[in-house]
Amino acid sequence: MLKSILTTTLRNMLRNRTFSLINLIGLSVSMSLGMLIIMIVTLEMPIQSAG
């Protein structure tokens, strides 16, 4: 089951290279920004609760 899903995904990525590249770049940027926001919030929380 997993092998067929991965095969289909790889086949679609090779057919639509530009579209796949745009999607992968967008996914990586959004995940990086999300992790950055989470890190900033966790660093700021103790400062606000102490003051």
Contact 30, 23 (CB under 8 A): no
What are the φ and ψ backbone dihedral angles of 16, each rounded to 5 degrees? -115, 70
- 3: burial class by Cβ within 10 Å (0-12, 13-18, 19+)? exposed
Percent of the chain clearing pLDDT 90 (strictly above) = 80
Q: What is the pTM of this model?
A: 0.68
DSSP 51: -
DSSP 16: S
Mean pLDDT of 26-37: 98
Contact 23, 15 (CB under 8 A): no
